[in-house]
Structure 1
Amino acid sequence: MTRAGFADPVETIELWPQGAPGNLDADRIEQVVERSIDTSVRDRALSGISNPRMLVVRARQPNGGAIVIIPGGGYRHIVVDKEGLETARWASENGLTAFVLFHRLPGEGWADRADVPSRDAQRAVRLARHHSDRLGFDPARIAMIGFSAGGHVAAEATVNAANTPAPIDAADREDCTPACTALLYPVISMHEPLAHAGSRLLLLGERPTASAESAHSPDRNVTDKAPPFFLAHAEDDSAVSVQNTLAMRDALMAKRIGVETHLFAEGGHGFGMRRIDRGTLSLWPQMLLAWMKEHGVA
């Protein structure tokens, strides 16, 4: 059992059973660092990911929906508990089959580094749909949620569905676009000064071209094929400017894509489902659940 009193999920789906493509570092070592100083709460950070995968958390009372969860971590690591497993347990309690994605990190020695996180996310949606019969949910009723840099992954994976490699197996013939996508305090723009500097550096390198910045700024790549989006951000976020969310909202509205936006006066960055014990911020999971019901997922 974890220190929070929940059993960690034991069911795993590997994204690339024959090995993740483009590996330039055969000596990469996976590491898990416990960052919490509170013995009752876990806060693990995962890095060195050579075997990208999803942890499966089955719905307690399935309603036929599912969700792919992409935690944040600034592309330096992946936040396992606060934005990953805690979100999955919430989803499970509300009838959704949850998949927590541990994607490749772009600064850890991968060819096409800027594409590997979103490619992993697209592969995750395809694999989830491929396993939907076995796991007992409707493949059409799958959402995606991303937090912080995970929000950037989710946004890119959703709006760049046409930019995917050739299929390698039966799962790759599934649609990679979720029915709807939620972004929590997301990194969006790769253009200075709006860009989150650490995420931009790890994704694009030290001297990215203007074309690379635009190619990996989801607000610059929204088409009228995008699904509905749910956006939430605290206006006092000092790590990722709320202007990222506003830029994404404006881009979606310009293409007449359904978008629901919630801005909170206070909350800072990285609140997830843990730091929401005050005011209207505490309501965001209920808002998301209601929105997913409106869009036929939950």
Structure 2
Amino acid sequence: MKYYSLLILLILSYSMVAQDTIMPLWPKNNIPNHIASDEKEVHEYKDILYISKVQMPTIEVYLPTERNAVGSAMVIFPGGGYRILAYDWEGSDIAKFLNGKGIAAIVVKYRLPSDVSQKEKYNVPLIDAQRAIRLVRSKAEDFHIDPNKIGIIGFSAGGHLASTLGTHFNEEVYDRIDDTDDLSARPDFMVLGYPVITFGEKAHAGSRMFLLGENPTQEMIDHFSNEKQVTEDTPPTLLFHATDDGSVPVENSLLFYQALKNHGVSASMHIYPKGGHGFSLALKDKHLRGWTERMFEWIESLE
């Protein structure tokens, strides 16, 4: 009987240690560009956990064991066309996979553009993204990571948000709230998976509409066409995409790669002949799933 009691105690203790930490991005009642409304966050599970109408943005922190930790971290932006978040498929599943390589992983549940609960909805995802990387940087000691080895990874529209952060990290899109906001929002490296990049000719129409509205000005289109916003300070970037992507044309990655090359930014790109859109880890595709190993090799090459 004592044996079973001890076993249960050990299991419970392990569960408590293994729990992942969810932290609010913002202090209570101090969320930038937020309007109080009756809008409620929605969670739907259809093989994938879809989250929409986010009201209280958070980060969910997944840490490897200290002995396996390599000291780097990745902040993860799930995709979903700026309408929903494919939260596990392109978020928590990615985080757990990164932990297996000793990388701390932080999933961002960022706010999606809303005419009901936000002002200047086009800036809201970037506001949350800047805050997320600053918050992670502020917790570097707690998370056992190097504050100078914090990268980002985004998928589809999450790739657009990641590339927006990587090209607009110095843009002042919200007023300082606390000491966290004194830290840099520049990622140390970027990984973009089948990303939305441009809002021009090869745009993903849905992402552009949900972020900018139905009739955006040319100035707004150019501002959020991130191939036009690359500078020499844009972080080193890895892109991967499938040629047969029927949702986000592969030209999005090609345009960004060319812009990086033109500005002397270290860049790598893997274009696969098949894979379609939204393949996440692609674990059931023996060829496509190789993108993860290419990514780990690339991250090591940056050191």
TM-score normalised over the length of structure 1: 0.91
Ranges of 4+ aligned residues in structure 1 off by more than 6 Å: none
SS at match of 1:261: strand
Match 1:74 to one of 51, 66, 81: 81
Distance 1:59 1:108 in 2: 39
1:277 shift after superposition: 2.5
More helix by share: 2
Aligned pairs (5 A) from 1:138-153: 138-153=146-161
Paired residue for 1:40? none
Paired residue for 2:127? 119
1:205-261 deviation digits (Å, cap 9, x = unpaired): 010000000001111111111110000000000010001111111111110101100
Distance 1:195 1:276 in 2: 28
1:114-171 deviation digits (Å, cap 9, x = unpaired): 1111121111110001011111111111110000000000000111112123422111
Distance 2:270 2:132 in 1: 27
Paired residue for 2:14? none
Distance 2:181 2:230 in 1: 23
Distance 2:39 2:273 in 1: 41
Paired residue for 2:42? 31
Paired residue for 1:64? 71
Give, as a single letter, the amino acid of the residue that structure 2 aligns with 1:49.
V
1:3-56 deviation digits (Å, cap 9, x = unpaired): xxxx995411211123321123521101110012xxxxxx10001111011100
Distance 2:278 2:19 in 1: 23
Distance 1:155 1:163 in 2: 13
Paired residue for 1:44? 49
Match 2:248 to one of 220, 240, 248: 240
Distance 1:236 1:9 in 2: 39
Paired residue for 1:175? 184
Paired residue for 1:3? none
Is the contact between residue 153 and residue 190 of structure 2 (CA under 8 Å) also seen in structure 1? yes
1:69 to 1:8, Cα distance in 2 relative to 1, 3 A: farther
> Structure 1: 5+ residue runs without aligned partners?
1-6, 37-42
Identity of matched residues, % = 34
Distance 1:174 1:252 in 2: 25
Is the contact between residue 75 and residue 106 of structure 2 (CA under 8 Å) also seen in structure 1? yes
Paired residue for 2:98? 91
CA RMSD of aligned residues (A): 1.5
Match 1:15 to one of 25, 35, 55: 25
> Structure 2: 5+ residue runs without aligned partners?
1-16
SS at match of 2:287: helix
TM-score normalised over the length of structure 2: 0.90
Paired residue for 2:263? 255
SS at match of 1:187: coil
1:187 shift after superposition: 0.5
The higher radius of gyration belongs to 2
1:173 to 1:8, Cα distance in 2 relative to 1, 3 A: same
1:108 shift after superposition: 5.0
SS at match of 2:112: coil
1:63 shift after superposition: 1.2
Match 1:190 to one of 177, 183, 199: 199
